[in-house]
């Protein structure tokens, strides 16, 4: 038996027998994972558009998109990981780890900034690989493995930074060779004529597009959905479960590294305590976007909508002149609603028709 | 539906050629011996039935042949070569396809994605080559229709099909991918009478096309309808091993129901 099957010459498929109908448009649209998030995004956009006058301007939109992109970049990876049936609680602090490593290596050893960029990428990928390997090797839930990684990285971030610099922040790196070119890639402003966007917005859209394509149009995407939906079944038909899941953890690490590079080149210096708590924001963005906590279902576009909802809300509350402390309460309400909508959608999708 | 099998079955199969041979095969999980001393030959064009009660070792036996667990004793030969599978992929590549009772499909994935899972058609050989979705939809739809499975929409999640339909999709998939040995794990256990009939006819068709079939069941009536060779397991050991000509349905049924133990029990409970 060959694993790659040549497409058979397509003999004209027999005429559809009676009783066989295309599913209705409504049924197909309601079956999409991101439909709840899309509805919520529209309602929330309309809401802030109505109540907050400064929200209606294009610069405000650029700010909202920027805030969304800093959540959304990592959320794409987290969504794919969750579709693959796993969690990563270390994603928030891994962002900071990458930024700190890059900054301190270049500063201490007087290296070109790009060396730090590459070395921190290798560190990030190693952390992701370790997370995935431990989860697959031990069978311990990823929740616990990555919770451990979370604490380890958090401790290392603070400890090593204090040890090297004597403070809890890195020195200013903006004078180091290669800073300007790296900033152009990770943190520049793009003038589109009518609106000036942070480059992260474009990167975010690119990552979402790649994630969506990967999930729906490649063999890897098929495997991701299968290992999350029914791992034993996927393994039995020959899907490389371990490689798929380790790859997913490394994908999250890669995106965390990317955001870390943005933070470093945007602010020139990095606070060692940053990132704690963000892992939940990424997970919530993915869940609001339709990813099931149990795996096997979700979308990359959904995670982008989830991130956009948070970007709109964090900025919208400010534009409306309210106390930003309300944001957390809103976060909880959104999550609860999202989980309820997801439950409904999953039941609808799995219904016998 | 016989056409489907004849079309996809490997053409080098000669009835009676041994495809899988097990000699003294056993499996221990730590101190527990789940299976020992199993001799089983699967010939092309024959159905070998493995019967047994819950916990008899049927599942362990399948897991060894299909590559989910390696055996710890004895030898397993496939096409005359000694093998020890360490992953289902290796077993699949050796032409052995397994249809599992409970873990055949991924419920929330579309029918066509399930059909091609692990053997996707791609528009190229390079690492990230896109899937040929159109071809996969058409093939899956055509193959299922040939088997008499009519799904409303090939894009619907497979969890929306009935249990019998899901089983048939899994069998059609195994045969389509050119399996030479087909292992059916309790294929009729969860099915009604009519749908069991469909699966049994399909099993017979696979046999006639020259495939070697391992049919695992606890229903001697179903086994006797299609089987050429019968093995009954009890607590990991073989208690009966006979050809069709040497055994009657009554004997199988009695042995399955407990044989000597049942006779003793009936004596004890006599009123």
* Per-residue pLDDT tens over the stretch A260-308: 999 999 999 999 999 999 999 999 999 989 898 889 999 999 999 999 9
- Judge: B120–A219 Cβ closer than 8 Å, yes or no: yes
How far apart, in whole angstroms, are the C-alpha atoms of residue A107 and residue A269? 11
Q: What is the CATH number of the domain that holds A99?
A: 1.10.3470
The answer to whether A347 and A33 are in contact (CB under 8 A) is no
CA distance A221 to chain B (A): 10
Count the domains in chain A. 1
CB distance from A210 to chain B under 8 Å? no
CATH of domain B2-104+178-268: 3.40.50.300
C-alpha triplet B173, B177, B179: angle, nearest 5° = 100
For helices A278-288 and A300-319, the axis angle rounded to 10 degrees is 120
For A198-241, the pLDDT digits (tens) are 999 999 999 999 999 999 999 999 999 999 998 988 888 889 99
Task: Please report residues of B whose CB lies closer than 8 A to that of A7.
Answer: 121, 132, 135, 139
pLDDT at res. A75:
97
Task: Please report residues of B whose CB lies closer than 8 A to that of A28.
Answer: 155
CB distance from B141 to chain A under 8 Å? yes
How far apart, in whole angstroms, are the C-alpha atoms of residue B144 and residue B151? 8
The answer, yes or no, to whether residue A2 has pLDDT greater than 60, is no
Whether residue A3 lies inside any domain: the answer is no
CB distance from B121 to chain A under 8 Å? yes
Q: Which of A11, A17, A238 sits opposite B88 (nearest CB)?
A: A238
> Is residue B3 very low, low, confident or very high in pLDDT (cuts 50, 70, 90)?
low
Minimum Cα–Cα distance from B7: chain A residue: A8
CA distance B1 to chain A (A): 14
Q: Which of A13, A236, A296 to mutate to test the interface with B (most CBs of B within 10 A)?
A: A236
> Chains A and B: how many Cβ contacts under 8 Å?
143
For A139-187, the pLDDT digits (tens) are 999 999 999 999 999 999 999 999 999 999 999 999 899 999 999 999 9
Instruction: Provide the residue range defining the domain that includes A93.
Output: 33-348
For B34-86, the pLDDT digits (tens) are 888 888 888 988 999 998 887 788 888 888 888 888 888 888 998 888 888 88
Minimum Cα–Cα distance from A236: chain B residue: B88
For A29-53, the pLDDT digits (tens) are 776 788 888 888 898 899 899 998 8
> Is residue A351 very low, low, confident or very high in pLDDT (cuts 50, 70, 90)?
low
The answer, yes or no, to whether residue A257 has pLDDT greater than 90, is yes
At which residue do the structure tokens 């999640």 appear? B157
B:20-79 residues touching chain A, CB 8 A cutoff: 66, 68
Residue A87, H or E segment: none
CB distance from A225 to chain B under 8 Å? yes
Tokens of A21: 């109908």
CB distance from A235 to chain B under 8 Å? yes
Which residue would you say has higher pLDDT here, A353 or B7? B7
A152-156 long-range contacts (CB < 8 A, ≥24 apart) are A153/A90, A153/A93, A153/A94, A153/A96, A153/A97, A153/A127, A154/A93, A154/A276, A156/A97
Whether residue A219 lies inside any domain: the answer is yes
Minimum Cα–Cα distance from A83: chain B residue: B108
């Amino acid at each position: 038996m060959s694993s790659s099957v040549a497409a058979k010459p397509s003999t004209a498929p027999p005429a559809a027998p009676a009783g066989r109908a295309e599913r209705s448009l409504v049924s197909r649209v309601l079956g999409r994972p991101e439909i709840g998030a899309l509805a919520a995004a529209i309602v929330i956009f309309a809401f802030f558009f109505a109540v907050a006058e400064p929200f209606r301007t294009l610069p405000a939109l650029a700010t909202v998109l920027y805030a969304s992109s800093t959540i959304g970049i990592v959320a794409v990876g987290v969504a794919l990981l969750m579709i693959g049936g796993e969690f990563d609680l270390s994603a928030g602090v891994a962002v900071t780890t990458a930024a700190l490593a890059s900054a301190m290596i270049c500063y201490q050893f007087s290296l070109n900034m790009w060396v730090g960029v590459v070395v921190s990428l290798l560190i990030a990928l190693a952390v992701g690989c370790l997370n995935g390997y431990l989860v697959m090797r031990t069978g311990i839930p990823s929740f616990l493995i990555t919770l451990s990684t979370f604490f380890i990285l958090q401790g290392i971030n603070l400890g090593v930074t204090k040890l090297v610099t004597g403070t809890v922040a890195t020195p200013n790196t903006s004078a180091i060779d290669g800073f300007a070119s790296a900033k152009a890639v990770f943190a520049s402003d793009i003038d589109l004529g009518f609106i000036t966007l942070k480059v992260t917005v474009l990167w975010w859209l690119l990552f979402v597009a790649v994630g969506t394509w990967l999930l729906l149009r490649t063999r890897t995407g098929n495997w991701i959905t299968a290992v999350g939906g029914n791992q034993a079944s996927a393994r039995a038909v020959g899907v490389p479960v371990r490689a798929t899941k380790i790859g997913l953890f490394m994908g999250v690490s890669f995106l965390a590294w990317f955001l870390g590079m943005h933070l470093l080149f945007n602010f020139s210096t990095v606070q060692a305590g940053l990132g704690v708590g963000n892992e939940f924001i990424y997970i919530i963005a993915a869940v609001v976007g339709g990813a099931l906590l149990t795996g096997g279902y979700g979308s990359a576009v959904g995670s982008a909508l989830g991130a956009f909802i948070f970007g709109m809300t964090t900025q919208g509350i400010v534009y409306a002149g309210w106390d930003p402390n309300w944001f957390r309460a809103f976060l909880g309400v959104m999550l609860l609603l999202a989980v309820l909508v997801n439950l409904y959608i999953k039941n609808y999708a799995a219904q016998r028709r | 539906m016989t056409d489907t099998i004849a079309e996809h079955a490997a053409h080098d199969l000669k009835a009676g050629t041994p495809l899988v041979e097990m000699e003294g095969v056993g499996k221990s999980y730590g101190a527990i011996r789940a299976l020992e001393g199993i001799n089983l030959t699967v010939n092309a064009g024959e159905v070998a039935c493995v019967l047994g009660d819950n916990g008899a070792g049927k599942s362990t036996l399948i897991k060894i042949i299909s590559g989910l667990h390696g055996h710890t004793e004895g030898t397993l030969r496939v096409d005359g070569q000694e093998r020890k599978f360490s992953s289902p992929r290796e077993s699949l590549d050796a032409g052995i396809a397994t249809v599992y009772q409970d873990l055949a499909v991924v419920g929330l994935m579309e029918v066509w994605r399930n059909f091609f899972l692990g053997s996707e058609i791609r528009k190229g050989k390079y690492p990230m080559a896109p899937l040929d979705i159109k071809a996969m939809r058409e093939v899956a739809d055509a193959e299922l229709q040939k088997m008499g499975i009519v799904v409303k929409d090939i894009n619907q999640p497979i969890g929306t099909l009935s249990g019998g339909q899901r089983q048939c999709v899994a069998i059609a998939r195994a045969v389509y991918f050119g399996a030479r040995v087909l292992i059916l794990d309790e294929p009729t256990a969860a099915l009604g009478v009519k749908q069991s009939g469909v699966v049994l006819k399909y099993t017979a068709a696979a046999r006639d096309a020259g495939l070697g079939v391992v049919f695992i069941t606890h229903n001697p009536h179903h086994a006797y309808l299609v089987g050429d060779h019968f093995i009954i397991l009890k607590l990991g050991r073989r208690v009966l091993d006979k050809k069709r000509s040497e055994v009657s349905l009554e004997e199988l049924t009695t042995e399955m129901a407990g044989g000597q133990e049942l006779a003793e029990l009936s004596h004890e409970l006599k009123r």
